[in-house]
Structure 1
Amino acid sequence: MSTEITWQKSSFSEGGAQCVEVAEHSDSILLRESEEPHTITTTNRTKFAAFITGVKAGEFDRFTN
């Protein structure tokens, strides 16, 4: 039996297109781009939490310009 994955995207996405989507599956966090839904990156909660903390701290702001 397969478990359906529910993807979530940011409410800040421009019309829902061209965005990064996140889901949880078992003990993993899954990431994909909406344009490439079959290409999925997997990480764990600890690494994802560290990434989010870095985003909130502005460590990746240079990538948004």
Structure 2
Amino acid sequence: MSYDTGWFKSSRSAAASNTCVEVRLTDQAVGVRDSKVPEAGHITVSHAAWRAFLNRLR
């Protein structure tokens, strides 16, 4: 049985791949972690910081 943790991978990631970044959105912030080592922790950024990061990638 698997549980929804709220973490998700990009739709551009291969379904069977565990080598990507995972993101979790909440009302307060955005969490980002390495899917290869999720137990290593995550960083949390504001929605504004995440939006600015994504805009820079484009």
TM range (shorter): 0.7 to 0.9
After TM superposition, which residue ranges in structure 1, 4 or more long, deviate above 4 angstroms? none
1:32 is paired with a residue whose SS is: strand
1:13 correspondence with 2:40: no
Q: How much identity, in percent, do the aligned residues show?
A: 28
Question: Greater relative contact order (Cα 8 A, min sep 6): structure 1 or 2?
Answer: 2
TM-score by structure 1 length?
Answer: 0.70
Specify the alignment match of 1:49 in structure 2.
51
CA contact (8 A) 1:9 1:16 kept: no
Number of aligned positions between the proteins: 53
Q: Which structure's residues are more often strand, by fraction?
A: 1
Specify the alignment match of 1:23 in structure 2.
24
The structure that has the greater radius of gyration is: 1
TM-score by structure 2 length?
Answer: 0.77
